[in-house]
Structure 1
Amino acid sequence: MRTVGLIVEYNPLHNGHYYHYQQSKKVTGADSAICIMSGHFLQRGEPAVVNKWARAEMALRMGADLVLELPVAFSAQPAEWFAYGAVSALDATGIVDSLCFGCESGSIDWLKAAADKLHQEPEELARLLQLELKKGMPYPAAYSKAVSHLLPGAKEEELAKPNNTLGLHYVIALRRLQSRIEPFAITRTKAEFNQANITDNRIASATAIRRILMTDRSLTGIRPFVPAATLEIMTREWKAGRGPVDWERFAKPLLLQLMHHSPEQLTSFHEVTEGLEHRIRKALADLRPDTDGDAAQALVETLIDKLKTKRYTRTKLQRTLLRILLNHSKQDLSPETLRQGVPYLRVLGFSPKGQELLKRMKKTAKVPIVTKVTTAASPLLELDIRATSVYALGYASPTPDDWFRDYYEAPIRIRSNCLA
């Protein structure tokens, strides 16, 4: 049985994701698919619009056979560590033959060629990167420019595109892990990453879909762009008061964390760098509530606007604030810890075919397979458990069952994969 690995967020799962799933199985000749899916908090430092169990069910109903959680230690990281964590999870299964991702170029050859030169972290790249960072450029742009200088054949404008960047880091991670997994790329169509406007009657980006959800707070507007199963699951979550979740739901606990720590103490948190702690304190002093009474709906957005600079992008700031909200220290997420890759494979759900994959993984997996959660399993798993408790604060009326759901929620089992 050939198995393709997909690295996903499904925030939420839409028709474009279904197209990617179908094409991935087609181009790789895979019989089954394993998803490595971010949990409650995502790569751009945002909370998922619905929880990880709902999104895992979407993936299974779409056709995925096994959904494994990417730990929060990796899921809300810049491209390099996000990719490394996800690829290490696929590699750790011992049964994945291929990795298929979407990117703007759709070509794998230049990504492989670049990864061959970059996976050993050449000193010249570090030097060029520091030169660009000193000019005040944000890290992603500085990295793209440094790579384009180091590799004359690499076009800076192509490297700077978000999914090309992720794709490059996926292939670099495969090289660093000396993985046997073969990478494949599929061209994104009809909706660019982070494209807010809708230009097709069936395909829209997750960004555009979330904008509809947050603007009118109903599911009617997204109906043409998502599978029926996605709509059904989201309707259930909405009725239960578990969505839609966005950053503003965490304004008060975030402010509590920010107010409780001195600037010096803030420096202990992961992602707080280069004097950002002082900028945060100044922004808090300048924060003014909305006189129309909508302050709770705009506090995080206003804070980010006050913190933004050319160097501190929105994504960087969201990741920083998230690490402070979740109480993640630099020690928790040290490079030495992250380089070890995922220390466990947390199962969120599976199909009958996925159950067969799990049986095979018991013999091939390089790390423990977790179906029942205990804090003793790993310090990083404890971070996931705490992330669930914090995420539940974004619900309309959270209960202890929501806060500690990780302890009692068994993996989702479906009898058959069906989008209807």
Structure 2
Amino acid sequence: MRAVGLIVEYNPFHNGHLYHLEQSVRLTEADAVVAVMSGHFLQRGEPALLDKWARTEAALRGGCDLVIELPAAYATQAADWFAYGAVSLLEATGVVDAFCFGTESGEIGLLREAARAIASEPAGFRQLLRERLQAGVNYPAAHSAALAQYLTESGYPEASQFPFAQPNHTLGLHYLIALERINGSMTPLTIRREKSGYNETTASDSHIASATAIRRMLLETGRPAEAKAYVPISTYQVLEREYEAGRAPVSWDNLFPQLLYAIGMRTAEQLADFREIAEGLENRIVQTLPKLETASFEQLIDALKTKRYTRTKLQRALLSVLLGHAKADMTADKLRSGVEYIRVLGFTDKGQTLLRQMRSTARLPVLLSAARPPGRYRYLELDTQATIAYRLGLPGPVKSGELYRDFKEKPVIVQHKSARHQ
């Protein structure tokens, strides 16, 4: 069985995702789709709109066959480690032949050359990057500019005009760098992103909108029906059910009291122990909070933002405090060693066939729940803690079983035909 891998957040699964999935299957002639999906918290330092089991169901009903979890230790990182964790997991299954990602251009040639050129972090590239960072440029912009200059000077003149800074090009490049660094065997492919940009906040098409625009509709109106035209009917049904049950939508507003507590109980020196808290940000946080007229997440972000501290970087830093992600747990050496397990969130009948195949091909233990794993996995502990933090952000009385759902929840199983088979 030929399988294609996708690296996703599905926040929520929408028509653009369905298009990407269908095109990936067509391009690779795959029989099954394996998705590595972020859990309750995402790459831009935000909570997911729906919990990971609801999003898994939407993914399976939308055409995926096997969904495995990207641990929060990687899912909430900047592009380099996010990509490294996701690509490593796909490779570790031993059943994924190719992986496919979306880009603004739909061209992979120069991205592959760039990945090969800088995978080993050559001294010339590091120096160009250092110069831009010292000039006060934020990391994403500094990395893209240094890369374009390094490649141009290395004999790729077309790199000077290539838009490396576009969000999907950035992620795609880091997927390819990760593949080089792990010496992976999967074939990388890309598909051009159509009709909506990654960060577009409003819908510009009658059926396709970015996840950002869809979340805005849902959060501002509180009505799943607002997004009905932009998501498959299966996603809409999941959204409607989760809203009615009071389990959605989740945003930083839900989690802000927890964040205030996590910050308020620590000194600036203690805050500095968390991932992405550096260069005096800990002092800025402690000094800023008492000055806010109204305590809200948006006011805090607006007050903390500088040229160097972008919204996304600040969200990831604050999320590390909320979730207790210490620098000591996420050193480069520890992250480079990779995830120690493959956590299954859900599967279809084809996914079950892949799981049987993985008994002989997987390079890591395959876990169907967090209960009694064969060994102590620190990143799995962090994921179970993330579930607690996520649930505490929801309205209504809290039951202990909901807090420790990771230990009891079985994988989501979807047996009927998916959207791509209809």
2:264 and 2:388 map into 1 onto residues whose CA distance is 21
- The one-letter code matched in structure 1 to 2:297 is V
Structure 2 distance, partners of 1:414, 1:196, is 32
Corresponding pairs, count: 412
Distance in 2 between the 1:156 and 1:379 partners? 43
CA-to-partner distance for each residue in 1:85-127, whole Å, 9 max, x for gaps?
0000000001110010001110011111111101111111111
Separation of aligned partners in 2, 1:385 and 1:155: 45
- Structure 1 length-normalised TM: 0.96
- What is the aligned partner in structure 2 of residue 177 from structure 1? 182
* Deviation, structure 1 residue 197: 1.8
Task: Evaluate the alpha carbon distance shift between residue 371 and residue 301 of structure 1 in structure 2; reply closer, same or farther with a 3 A threshold.
Answer: same
Partner of 1:334: 331
Root-mean-square deviation (Å): 1.1
Provide the rounded CA distance (Å) in 2 between the counterparts of 1:342 and 1:155.
Answer: 36
Query: Which position in structure 1 is the counterpart of 2:106?
Result: 106
State the secondary structure of the residue aligned to 1:49. Answer: coil
Deviation at 1:157, TM superposition (A): 5.7
Q: Give the CA deviation at 1:417.
A: 3.1
Give the equivalent residue in structure 1 for 2:369.
372
The answer as to 2:392 corresponding to 1:393 is yes
Q: Output the CA distance in 2 between the equivalents of 1:156 and 1:177.
A: 29
Contact 1:60–1:417 under 8 Å retained in 2:
no
Are 1:220 and 2:225 an aligned pair?
yes
1:348 paired with 2:345, answer: yes
Match of 1:191 in 2: 196
Amino acid at match of 1:214: L
What is the match of residue 251 of structure 2? 246
Percent pairwise identity: 49
Among residues 307, 311, 315, which one is paired with 1:310 in the alignment?
307
- Cα distance in 2 for residues equivalent to 1:248 and 1:138: 26
Q: Which runs of 5+ in 1 are unaligned?
A: 290-294
Q: Which runs of at least 4 in structure 1 moved beyond 6 Å after TM superposition? A: none
Separation in 1, partners of 2:73, 2:21:
26
Q: CA deviation at 1:156?
A: 6.1
Q: How far apart, CA to CA, are the structure 1 residues paired with 2:412 and 2:379? A: 22
Amino acid at match of 1:379: R
Contact preservation (8 Å) 2:246, 2:395 = yes
> Is 1:65 aligned with 2:65?
yes
Corresponding residue number in structure 2 for 1:292: none
The question of whether the paired residues in 2 share the 8 Å contact of 1:144 and 1:156 is answered with no
Q: Which amino acid aligns with 1:182?
A: T
Normalising to structure 2: TM-score of the pair? 0.96
Aligned-partner residue type, residue 151 of structure 2: L
Q: CA deviation at 1:287?
A: 1.2
* Equivalent in the alignment of 1:22: 22
Please show how residues 6-85 of structure 1 align to structure 2 within 5 Å. Answer: 6-85=6-85
Q: How far apart, CA to CA, are the structure 2 residues paired with 1:417 and 1:244?
A: 27
Give the counterpart of 1:276 among 263, 266, 281: 281
- 2:20–2:102: 8 Å Cα contact kept in structure 1? yes
Query: Which position in structure 2 is the counterpart of 1:5?
Result: 5
2:170 maps to what in 1?
Answer: 165
SS in 2 for 1:198: coil
Tell me, in whole angstroms, the C-alpha distance in 2 between the residues paired with 1:228 and 1:255.
Answer: 38
- How far apart, CA to CA, are the structure 2 residues paired with 1:93 and 1:385? 22
Aligned residue in 1 for 2:88: 88
Q: Give the whole-Å Cα distance in 1 for the aligned partners of 2:64 and 2:92.
A: 18
Partners of 1:312 and 1:102 in 2: CA distance: 27
User: What is the CA-CA distance between 1:340 and the residue it aligns to?
Assistant: 1.0
SS at match of 1:102: strand
Aligned partners of 1:77, 1:342: CA distance in 2, in Å?
14
Report whether the alignment pairs 1:362 with 2:355: no
C-alpha displacement at 1:285, in angstroms? 2.1
Aligned residue for 2:155?
A: none
One-letter identity of the residue aligned with 1:257: A
Q: Give the Cα–Cα distance (whole angstroms) in 1 for the partners of residues 331 and 253 of structure 2.
A: 28
1:366 is paired with a residue whose SS is coil
Partners of 1:155 and 1:201 lie apart in 2 by 35
Asked if structure 2 preserves the Cα contact closer than 8 Å seen for 1:60 and 1:350, the reply is: yes
Residues of 1 paired with 2:399 and 2:146: CA distance? 49
Once the two structures are TM-superposed, the CA of residue 399 in structure 1 deviates from its matched residue by 2.1
Distance 2:34 2:376 in 1: 22
User: Residue 62 of structure 1 contacts residue 417 of structure 1 at CA under 8 Å; is this kept in 2?
Assistant: no
Question: Partner of 2:68: helix, strand, or coil?
Answer: strand
Is the 1:242–1:394 Cα contact (8 Å) retained in structure 2?
no
- CA distance in 2: counterparts of 1:358 and 1:60, whole angstroms: 15
**SS in structure 2 opposite 1:250?**
helix
Aligned counterpart, 2:159: 154
Gaps of 5+ in 2: 153-157
Corresponding residue for 1:209?
A: 214
SS in 2 for 1:215: helix
In 1, Cα distance between equivalents of 2:285 and 2:160 = 36
Distance 1:354 1:109 in 2: 31
Equivalent residue, structure 2, for 1:123: 123
User: Contact 1:64 / 1:417 at 8 angstroms: preserved in 2?
Assistant: no
